[in-house]
Amino acid sequence: MSVWAILVAAGRGERLGLDRPKAFAKLGDEPLLAEPLRRLDACPWVDAIVLVAPPGWEEPAILVAEEEGCGKVQACVAGGETRSDSVRAGLAEVPADALVVLVHDAARPLLTDEVVERVLAPLSEGWDGVVPGLPVGDTLKRVGSDGGVHETVTRDALWAVQTPQAFTADVLRRAQASGAEATDCAGLVEAVGGRVKVVDGDPRLLKVTSQADLETVAGWR
């Protein structure tokens, strides 16, 4: 089974308030991008990597890959306006004979081989997509623009979904081409009737959105 990983790192990361994209924020003394890239490259389940960089930052991204000695990186392309556009740009670089595509957010640096293994395994049981998730622990409320509570949503069976997300390559291509809208790749696959399974995620796959998240992740490394 040939597994191609798409590492999406093209977000602007405006909430970090830096003069550079989030992928180049400092995690310790390295750019954030270096950590997930090194982990993906070292993962025995991953055969090849497409790196999706912020537009205009392709060369610095390639330099990070070279400095880290990431020999599995086959292409580095510019991302798009939305995450979905960036995944599409990455998918265009995945060859037709790839069987499985693993999509991972560079903003979740602490990827492990175990979570990659957990999302890949069910694909051979007939699932079209597999995503890691954590059961929602907080009480959820739907809130109006005035702050008034409209509804308390039962959290039974609700999971917060992370990346890496694994898909059979043909289903992900079909989902991307369908023009459906979703906030993650799994949502696109679901929209075209694909069967998606949730497996146990990892609390350490925290998505970095703030400076405090960067410090938390640096402490967990």
Residue closest to 39 by CA, chosen among 202, 161, 170: 202
Sequence-distant (6+) residues with CB within 8 A of 43 are 5, 111, 113, 116
| Cβ contact 4:98 at 8 Å | yes
Would you count residue 155 as binding ligand C5P (CB under 6 A)? no
Nearer to ligand C5P, 9 or 122 (CB): 9
SS3 state at 84: helix
Hey, CA dihedral for 172, 3, 165, 84, is it positive or negative? negative
Would you count residue 52 as binding ligand C5P (CB under 6 A)? yes
Nearer to ligand C5P, 58 or 122 (CB): 58
Q: Least Å distance between CB 16 and ligand C5P?
A: 10
164 preceded by cis ω (within 30°)? yes
Given 8, 98, 166, 196, the residue binding ligand C5P (CB under 6 A): 8
Give the Å distances, CA to CA, from 165 to 38, 110, 151, 197.
18, 14, 30, 10
Would you count residue 122 as binding ligand C5P (CB under 6 A)? no
Q: Least Å distance between CB 107 and ligand C5P?
A: 4
Tell me how far apart the alpha carbons of residues 89 and 78 are, in angstroms, rounded to a whole number.
7
Full 3-state SS string of 88-135: HHHHCCCCCCCCEEEEEECCCCCCCHHHHHHHHHHHHHCCCEEEEEEE
> Quick one: which segment of 5-13, 118-126, 150-158, 212-220 binds ligand C5P (CB under 6 A)?
5-13
Would you count residue 173 as binding ligand C5P (CB under 6 A)? no
Per CB under 6 A, contacts with ligand C5P among 88-107 are 105-107
Would you count residue 207 as binding ligand C5P (CB under 6 A)? yes
Per CB under 6 A, contacts with ligand C5P among 125-144 are none
**Which structure tokens are listed for 40?**
């993906």
Would you count residue 9 as binding ligand C5P (CB under 6 A)? yes
Would you count residue 162 as binding ligand C5P (CB under 6 A)? no
Would you count residue 214 as binding ligand C5P (CB under 6 A)? no
Would you count residue 80 as binding ligand C5P (CB under 6 A)? yes
> Quick one: which segment of 77-85, 117-125, 128-136, 191-199 binds ligand C5P (CB under 6 A)?
77-85
Hey, CA dihedral for 173, 35, 69, 65, is it positive or negative? positive
Q: Which residues bind ligand C5P (CB under 6 A)?
A: 8-11, 22-23, 52, 79-83, 86, 105-107, 207, 209
